[in-house]
């Protein structure tokens, strides 16, 4: 009998391998965001003060939308090809398997955009003092996005593709992350203290880490009955 | 747990969809060496019944026992001894059969190092490293069946294992079934085809 770690590792490995096989698809949103960022100064004007004010919100919204779009496929594909039944019928704890899917999702969507964010911020003339808060906040915040998105994805797994219910369910949960994330960057960029906002962001992520694997696992057991 | 207890026993199973019973009063069971075929018209609820038997779905009424123990409680034990193949093969199309068997091996008990032989037995030796997207429906089904050879599960629950399988494949499946039954395993499966196996019991679902 493989131990609980084996299921986690096998699923994480599987998802990363699948993502690597279609790395073009995975890179698409990043290229799209880079284009948006390059176009903003042309559209709203090149004044650094205006762009710097816009920068935290723009980068955070792009990270949010990028994860939200990708969360559609979090359980949907496994549901359609029958692999989800293997997850549910595995003797391994389902919440741990869900966590593996979430971590893989974060590594493929949240981490790349976090790594890309300094470049996007530079294009938007964000002062250098805001960069550490941006990167730290996005690292934590995108993990929370993936965790919360998993609950929405699990609840709506059997509904048709492209339904608007899931974003509606998940967006209210994303809002606090967005607020504290952008606040941290804006304060740091203005030369202020960002630790408070980042601590709250970390608290939200920790709470999501504790609750959402269990909530998503329970939702999957219900949702698998199409 | 008495040694005489059947592997899986179910009584008075009822499942409702949209508040209407899809089937009710279903009873039966399998002992070691038993094979049970679920038959019935399209839409009679064969797939649903099989999923109820795997515990993926909960019945509206009725009880299931695994080796004499009531099921929702003995579930983890049951799942370690169960191998299920659903309607869809459950394989990732972006991965090869060998890679699919590897991730499934993390989720279910699997014999070590037997993937090579299992794929060869099912005639997929040349395709073991090709992406599943390049395989035909019948070959995908064969790849899914390879998992059964690797698992040491006592009970196989198979939903349409013969779908898309050619004539040689059917003979092969019969051979796999016979070996599993001879080694003390049990099988519950749904199919519209008759298998050339002795002692198949039937459970007919009324439409």
Looking at residue A226, its pLDDT comes to 55
* Cα–Cα distance for residue pair A95/A97, rounded to 1 Å: 5
Task: Tell me whether residues A2 and B110 touch, CB distance under 8 A.
Answer: yes
CA distance A38 to chain B (A): 34
* Cα–Cα distance for residue pair B33/B177, rounded to 1 Å: 10
Half-sphere exposure of A125 (CA within 13 A, CB side): 12
Looking at residue B187, its pLDDT comes to 94
Q: What is the pLDDT of residues B136-179, one digit of tens each?
A: 988 899 999 998 888 889 999 999 888 888 888 898 999 999 99
CB-nearest to A1 from B90, B109, B131 is B109
Contacts of B95 in chain A (CB under 8 A): 14, 17-18, 21
* Cα–Cα distance for residue pair A23/A27, rounded to 1 Å: 6
Contacts of A2 in chain B (CB under 8 A): 105-110
Token pair 């709506």 is found at A156
pTM of the shown model: 0.90
pLDDT in tens, chain A (226 residues): 667 788 899 999 999 999 999 898 888 888 988 899 889 999 998 898 899 989 999 999 999 988 887 777 788 888 888 899 999 999 889 999 999 999 999 999 999 999 999 999 999 999 999 999 999 999 999 999 999 999 988 988 877 666 778 888 889 999 999 999 999 999 999 888 889 999 999 999 999 999 999 999 999 988 777 5
Output the six-digit token pair for B36: 């049970």
Half-sphere exposure of A212 (CA within 13 A, CB side): 27
Q: Domain range for residue A113? A: 4-223
Looking at residue B13, its pLDDT comes to 87
Q: How confident is the model at residue B1 (pLDDT cuts 50, 70, 90)?
A: very low
Give the residue from B88, B50, B63, B52 showing the smallest Cα distance to B189.
B50
Highest mean pLDDT among A213-217, B58-62, B190-194: A213-217
CB-nearest to A89 from B79, B92, B103 is B79
Domains of chain B: 1-81+156-207 (3.40.50.300), 91-153 (no CATH)
Contacts of A10 in chain B (CB under 8 A): 102-107
Question: Which ipTM score applies to this complex?
Answer: 0.88
Output the six-digit token pair for B45: 């609820």
Torsion of CA A70, A75, A78, A83, to 10 degrees: 150
**Structural domains of chain A, count:** 1
Task: Tell me whether residues B103 and A18 touch, CB distance under 8 A.
Answer: no
Task: Tell me whether residues B108 and A2 touch, CB distance under 8 A.
Answer: yes
Contacts of A87 in chain B (CB under 8 A): 107
Give the residue from B144, B107, B97 showing the smallest Cα distance to A11.
B107
Mean pLDDT (chain B, rounded): 87
* Cα–Cα distance for residue pair A192/B50, rounded to 1 Å: 62
Phi and psi for A101 in degrees, rounded to 5? -60, -40
Task: Identify whether the C-beta of residue B141 lies closer than 8 Å to the C-beta of residue B115.
Answer: no
Q: What is the pLDDT of residues B41-56, one digit of tens each?
A: 888 888 889 999 998 8
Q: What is the pLDDT of residues B77-133, one digit of tens each?
A: 999 999 999 888 889 999 999 999 999 988 888 877 778 888 888 888 888 899 999
Q: How confident is the model at residue B60 (pLDDT cuts 50, 70, 90)?
A: confident
Output the six-digit token pair for A24: 């073009």
Looking at residue B190, its pLDDT comes to 92
Residue of A nearest to B133 (CA): A81
Q: Which of B54, B81, B107 to mutate to test the interface with A (most CBs of A within 10 A)?
A: B107
Q: Which of A75, A83, A101 to mutate to test the interface with B (most CBs of B within 10 A)?
A: A83
Give the three-state DSSP class for B11: strand
List the Cα angle B186/B56/A169 in 5-degree steps.
165
């Amino acid at each position: 009998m493989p131990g609980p770690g084996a299921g986690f590792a096998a699923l994480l490995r599987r998802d990363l391998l699948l993502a690597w096989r279609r790395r073009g698809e995975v890179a698409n949103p990043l290229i799209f965001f880079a284009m948006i960022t390059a176009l903003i100064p042309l559209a709203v004007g090149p004044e650094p003060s205006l762009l710097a004010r816009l920068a935290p919100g723009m980068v955070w919204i792009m990270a949010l939308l990028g994860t939200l779009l990708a969360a559609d496929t979090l359980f949907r594909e496994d549901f359609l090809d029958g692999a989800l039944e293997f997850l549910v019928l595995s003797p391994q704890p389902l919440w741990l398997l869900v966590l593996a899917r979430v971590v893989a999702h974060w590594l493929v969507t949240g981490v790349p955009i976090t790594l890309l964010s300094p470049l996007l911020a530079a294009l938007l003339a964000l002062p250098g003092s805001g960069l550490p808060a941006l990167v730290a906040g996005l690292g934590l915040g995108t993990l929370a996005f993936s965790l919360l998105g998993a609950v929405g994805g699990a609840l709506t797994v059997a509904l048709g593709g492209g339904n608007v219910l899931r974003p509606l369910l998940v967006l209210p949960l994303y809002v606090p992350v967005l607020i504290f994330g952008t606040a941290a960057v804006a304060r740091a960029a203005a030369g202020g203290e960002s630790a408070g906002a980042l601590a709250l962001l970390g608290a939200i992520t920790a709470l999501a880490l504790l609750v959402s694997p269990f909530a998503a696992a329970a939702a999957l057991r219900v949702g698998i009955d199409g | 747990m008495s040694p005489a207890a059947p592997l899986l026993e179910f009584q008075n199973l009822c499942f409702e969809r949209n508040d209407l019973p899809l089937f009710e009063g279903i009873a039966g069971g399998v002992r070691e060496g038993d094979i049970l075929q679920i038959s019935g018209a399209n839409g009679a609820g064969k797939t649903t019944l099989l999923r109820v038997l795997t515990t993926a779905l909960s019945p509206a009424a009725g009880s299931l026992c695994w080796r004499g123990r009531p099921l929702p409680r003995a579930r983890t034990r049951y799942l370690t001894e169960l191998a299920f193949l659903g309607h869809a093969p459950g394989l990732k199309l972006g991965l090869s059969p060998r890679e699919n068997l590897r991730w499934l091996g993390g989720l279910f008990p699997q014999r070590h190092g037997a993937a090579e032989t299992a794929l060869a037995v099912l005639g997929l030796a040349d395709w073991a490293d090709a992406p599943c997207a390049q395989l035909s429906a019948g070959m995908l089904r064969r790849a899914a069946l390879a998992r059964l050879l690797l698992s040491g599960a006592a009970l196989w629950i198979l939903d349409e294992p013969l779908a898309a399988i050619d004539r040689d494949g059917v003979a092969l499946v019969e051979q796999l079934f016979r070996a599993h039954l001879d080694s003390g395993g049990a099988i519950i499966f749904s199919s519209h085809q008759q298998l050339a196996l002795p002692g198949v019991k039937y459970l007919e679902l009324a439409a």
